[in-house]
Chain A
Amino acid sequence: AQTVTQSQPEMSVQEAETVTLSCTYDTSESDYYLFWYKQPPSRQMILVIRQEAYKQQNATENRFSVNFQKAAKSFSLKISDSQLGDAAMYFCAYRASLNYGGSQGNLIFGKGTKLSVKP
């Protein structure tokens, strides 16, 4: 069974600085997606960034980028120029990408990392 592990329950960063959130996962599949979702106190789960496992290039979305190491099964999120609005719970998630073979289409989440941003 697939698992996702986030080893940092809490992280803190100074405004305008850079922070990296860690995530490791375990799977026997070769084709899958990895995601980072942000959940602010409003509870809405917001997609931050998506990585397709077959793509070697790391995904980027403005100030957010990932370091995807497929062999090491590592998927970290880097937030540059941190802003007060980045404060939230961040969840790493895995999902099998192919819609066949009995694999379920659900997301598998880690336990999350609470990010605080200091002014």
Chain B
Amino acid sequence: ETGVTQSPTHLIKTRGQQVTLRCSSQSGHNTVSWYQQALGQGPQFIFQYYREEENGRGNFPPRFSGLQFPNYSSELNVNALELDDSALYLCASSPPTSGGRRETQYFGPGTRLLVL
């Protein structure tokens, strides 16, 4: 069984540019969540996608946007990059809910973004 994968592993951008990060969910998982982890901090929730629709969002500005595709893979797009966007971006997938109860999220290895 293939786990959650993310690409690229590392990325360097300059302030003002745009970036797209990609995530392939684990087989059988239909929900994808994105998190931002600043250095020395715990991950912070950006948003979640379920059946190609945004299904919850954290305290992040609209320049953070996403997509989910029919195969449940996902993209995170960040426009007008700022220095504070430098962080590890983690994607997590989870299987369908069971009896109305959410299932565990499994994480990918992350993408390290550096904004200069």
* A→B interface (CB under 8 Å): 4, 33, 35, 37, 42-47, 50, 91, 93, 95-100, 104-112
With both beta carbons as reference points, the residue of chain B lying nearest to A32 in the complex is identified as B102
What A residues does B95 contact at CB under 8 A? none
Contact between B100 and A45 (Cβ–Cβ < 8 Å)?
Answer: no
A59 CB → nearest B CB, Å = 12
Question: How many Å lie between the Cα of A19 and that of B40 in the bound state?
Answer: 22
With both beta carbons as reference points, the residue of chain A lying nearest to B96 in the complex is identified as A99
Contact between A106 and B48 (Cβ–Cβ < 8 Å)?
Answer: yes
Question: How many Å lie between the Cα of A42 and that of B31 in the bound state?
Answer: 24
A5 CB → nearest B CB, Å = 11
Contact between A43 and B42 (Cβ–Cβ < 8 Å)?
Answer: no
Which of A47, A95, A100, A106 gathers most chain B CB within 10 Å?
A106
What B residues does A33 contact at CB under 8 A? 102, 104
Number of interface residues of B (CB under 8 A): 29
Identify 10 residue pairs between A and B in the complex whose beta-carbon atoms are under 8 Å apart, listed by A's number. A44-B109, A45-B90, A45-B107, A95-B102, A97-B101, A99-B101, A106-B45, A107-B92, A112-B41, A112-B42
Also in contact, A91 and B42, with CB within 8 A (given A44-B107, A107-B105): yes
B29 located at the interface, meaning its Cβ lies under 8 Å from any Cβ of chain A in the complex? no
Contact between A107 and B102 (Cβ–Cβ < 8 Å)?
Answer: no
With both beta carbons as reference points, the residue of chain A lying nearest to B56 in the complex is identified as A104
Contact between A45 and B33 (Cβ–Cβ < 8 Å)?
Answer: no
Query: In chain B, residues 64-116, which have Cβ atoms closer than 8 Å to a Cβ of chain A?
Result: 88, 90, 92, 94, 97, 100-102, 104-110, 112
Contact between A35 and B56 (Cβ–Cβ < 8 Å)?
Answer: no
Contact between B101 and A98 (Cβ–Cβ < 8 Å)?
Answer: yes
B16 located at the interface, meaning its Cβ lies under 8 Å from any Cβ of chain A in the complex? no
